[in-house]
Amino acid sequence: MTELRTEEEQIAVMKKWWAENGRSLLIGIGLALAIVFGWKAYQNSVIQTKTEASGLYQQLMTEATKNNFDNEDANTLSYLANEIKTKFESSEYAIYAAMFLAKDAIEQKNYEAAKNELNWVLSRTEDSRTQHIVNARLARILSAEGQHEEALAKLNASLPQFEPVYLELKGDINKRMGNTEQAVEAYKTAYLLIKDKPQTLPLLAVKLSDLGVNPETL
């Protein structure tokens, strides 16, 4: 009888515990399952979004590399790029699409549109390499518009690999402004930074020679 009573007591204790804690336990399990399935749904959504964005971008590149390019193709390119920017604004493909639209606008000498696209990229990326590329393009546009000082202000390289490119651009802009001494100094510094990379030197060497500097003496 003692053993039976003990079992009955154990069952009573379990019933009491379940009455006091069962609801919260079920809620906890439900929340855990919701988190797990919610996370999986989110991951599937991310994968689907990237796949769709990648597909549109592939279409964009296919159209861009057509041999016989006409106005209809140009309209298709613009549509695809803007679709990517609108639907997938937070993806890297939106950045690529905006860069493409900027390049197209520059080719058409629509500098205002190009600046808008490039500034859009700057407002949405924290990638230093992309920021350097965009600032270099903005500097070229600003200089082409005659805003040379504003262009020079864009050329402050914080990544070493961009320093030669930025210096060469500074040389180009200073030469355009008639600041020959500053142009020579920028070209010389850029030349010295890439002196051990012969494949990148020819154009820079020509620019120095045009300003009366023999690159072989550097």
Give the pLDDT band of residue 85 (cuts 50, 70, 90): confident
- Residue 118: Cβ within 10 Å count: 24
Higher per-residue confidence, 51 vs 87: 87
The predicted model gives 153-168 an average pLDDT of 95
CB 60 within 8 A of CB 84: yes
Copy the structure tokens of residue 201: 């030197």
The predicted model gives 163-187 an average pLDDT of 96
Per DSSP (E only), the strands in the chain are: none
How confident is the model at residue 32, as a pLDDT? 58
How confident is the model at residue 71, as a pLDDT? 64
Residue 196 pLDDT exceeds 50: yes
Contacts of 121 (CB under 8 A, 6+ apart): 95, 98, 99, 102, 130, 134
Residue (of 102, 178, 173, 185) closest to 142 by Cα position: 173
End-to-end CA distance of the chain: 106
How confident is the model at residue 37, as a pLDDT? 47
How confident is the model at residue 84, as a pLDDT? 86
Residue (of 90, 113, 88) closest to 100 by Cα position: 113
The predicted model gives 169-181 an average pLDDT of 96
Residue 3 pLDDT exceeds 80: no
- Residue 1: Cβ within 10 Å count: 5
CB 107 within 8 A of CB 77: no
How confident is the model at residue 41, as a pLDDT? 45
Residue 106 pLDDT exceeds 70: yes
Q: Using the 8-state DSSP alphabet, how is residue 67 labeled?
A: S
What is the tens place of the pLDDT at every residue in 197-216?
Answer: 766 678 898 999 999 998 88
Higher per-residue confidence, 97 vs 3: 97
Residue 183 pLDDT exceeds 80: yes
Residues 99, 122: Cα–Cα separation, whole Å: 10
Contacts of 90 (CB under 8 A, 6+ apart): 124
Higher per-residue confidence, 181 vs 24: 181
Residues 93, 95: Cα–Cα separation, whole Å: 5
Q: Can you list the pairs that 60-65 forms with residues at least 24 positions away whose Cβ atoms lie under 8 Å? A: 60/84, 60/97, 60/100, 64/100
Burial of 189 (0-12, 13-18, 19+ CB in 10 A): middle
Give the pLDDT band of residue 195 (cuts 50, 70, 90): confident
DSSP string, 2-42: HHHHHHHHHHHHHHHHHHHHHHHHHHHHHHHHHHHHHHHHH
- Exposure pattern of 133-142 as b/e (b: 16+ CB <10 Å)? bbbbbbbbbb
What is the tens place of the pLDDT at every residue in 16-52?
Answer: 665 666 566 556 565 555 555 454 443 544 455 557 7
Q: What is the pTM of this model?
A: 0.72
